[in-house]
A and B are shown apart, each in its own frame.
Chain A
Amino acid sequence: MVKVAIFDYGAGNIFSLKSSLEKNEAEVDVITNLEKIKNYSGLLLPGVGNFDPAITSLHTSKIQFQDLVKNQIPVLGICLGMEMFFEKSEEGKLGGLGVLEGEVILLPNKFKIPHMGWNDLQIKKPSVLLEGVKEGSWVYFVHSYRVKPKNEDIIKADSDYGINVPAVIETQTLFGTQFHPEKSSKVGSIMIQNFLRVCKK
């Protein structure tokens, strides 16, 4: 059984993510620092909260997090969790984790914000996380910001909300989704399984 950790910023529902991982036969611990991260095969940064408080809760772990990514421990960042991979966000004043070059910007206001509900995936490139996921699959989004990676090759799928919203990013063992796989019914479960498979390696 693969053992993974969810980082808890103390600001929202991580219960659904935990249930989803457990349904896919992972052993899950909820952690609030990265001191014992070597005991786990993968880390999840959940997608609930606000940028600055979440970054503050990870602050003392920032160097450990960067090491973890260098050492290729698989990490899945969901929504805010993915946004924190980048250097900065318009949601907050504090710097991000900075493991990816680029920034996080507010969605254009020609449509309603937050972008909330089920939207379909346009798959752009082959991706480990998207193995077995069909083009046009519906996934659940709820966010007000989007990521803008410097290297666009890491965007594996996007979704149309007046503009192309990067929906899946992936580079080596670093994975991110703007939508919530744990809330995206069966399709989301496939992605959770794909992530856990990477953790097992």
Chain B
Amino acid sequence: MTLTKRVIPCLDVDNGRVVKGMHFKSIKDAGDPVLLAEKYSQEGADELVFLDITASEQQRETIKSLVKKVAQVIDIPFTVGGGVKTLQDARDILLSGADKVAINTGAVKNPEIITKLMEIFGKQCIVIAMDVRRNYEIKENRHIFTSDSKKFWFEVFIYGGKTPTDLDAIEWAKEVERRGAGEILLTSIDMDGTKEGYDVQLIKEIVNSVNIPVIASGGCGKPVHMLDVFLQTNVDAALAASIFHYKTHSVDRVKEYLKENGVPVRL
């Protein structure tokens, strides 16, 4: 046997509650983060991801206490992100009980933070979250792709998917690896919240550009979407939120389904 593919429920947390939006908007309450974490852990989730989407300065203490509560009830790894800008933010989260810290805007604004964190905590702690959208305005020095005979490139967005950066996602992925990131959490803004499946093309291109693990995110609406991304790309993990929150599908059932269809998973 060898390494299994990971199924990762994601909890977007706002003011201490789990919420779910669409295209990074229209937020809906989906429950208590500690209870959901415990439930997913018991159902066989391979990891958990928490994204603090409020992430204002006043929220730092809230998220620290939430991380502590979650760490007490689960015995699987978990990643926490949202508003991490400084070494101190990352340290607070890791020392409160998270195994990994996800950085997005903070890393684009200040890429040196990746190397600094790696030197202190080791690269396994550092997840770079990339929010990516297809840009159909063709520019020079970009990796150009074609789909339905339309040309586009993959652009990195920051501030919760609101602000374009002009950064080419393929180049940014390579750069974060070079600077010491241990993993990439790759979200498609185009697909996020649509429940129509992952952006397989995006995921394939990023996975093939780096030699660190990649988590696919954005668009999972049913188990077959996970199957597709695992069968069509060499991605290491698939993240999903709403399909688990609303009791449509339990984690263990989804993993059984993946196994029946030839994906190596932990059961």
Taking beta carbons and an 8 Å cutoff, which residues of A are in contact with B? 11-13, 15-16, 19-20, 48-50, 53, 80, 109, 112-120, 136, 138, 140-144, 160-162, 180, 182-186, 188-189
Q: Is the CB of B98 within 8 A of A117?
A: no
In the bound complex, CA of A12 to CA of B99 (Å): 8
Are A80 and B75 interface neighbours, CB within 8 A? no
Pairwise interchain contact A112-B119, C-beta atoms closer than 8 A: no
Q: Does B213 contact A112, Cβ atoms closer than 8 Å?
A: yes
Closest-by-CB residue of B relative to A115 is B3
With known contacts A50-B120, A182-B75, A114–B212 Cβ distance under 8 A: yes
Question: Which are the 6 A-B pairs with shortest beta-carbon distances?
Answer: A15-B97, A138-B266, A118-B266, A142-B124, A50-B122, A120-B1
Interface 1/0s, chain B 212-236, versus A by CB < 8 A? 1100000000000000000000001
Residues of B within 8 A of A (CB): 1-6, 41, 46, 68, 71-72, 75-77, 94-99, 118-125, 182-183, 211-213, 236-237, 266
Verify A119–B99 contact, CB threshold 8 A: no
Whether B97 and A183, one on each chain, are in contact in the complex, defined by CB atoms closer than 8 angstroms, is no
**Which of these, B94, B99, B122, contacts A80 with CB under 8 Å?**
B122
Q: Is there contact, CB below 8 Å, between A138 and B97?
A: no
Q: Whole-angstrom distance from the CB of B255 to the nearest CB of chain A?
A: 11
Contact A12 B76 (CB under 8 A): no
A160: which B residues are within 8 A, CB to CB?
1-2
Complex contacts, B75 vs chain A, CB 8 Å = 16, 20, 182-186, 188-189
Whole-angstrom distance between the Cβ of B39 and the nearest chain A Cβ: 14
> What separation, in Å, do the CA atoms of A24 and B97 have in the docked complex?
18
Beta-carbon contact of B46 and A19 below 8 Å: no
> Measured between alpha carbons, how far is A19 from B77 in the docked complex, in Å?
13
Known: A19-B72, A114-B182, A116-B182. A12 touches B236 (CB 8 A): no
Question: Which residue of the partner chain B has the closest CB to A187?
Answer: B75
Q: State in angstroms the CA–CA spacing of A184 and B74 once bound together.
A: 10
Contacts of A188 in B (CB 8 A): 75
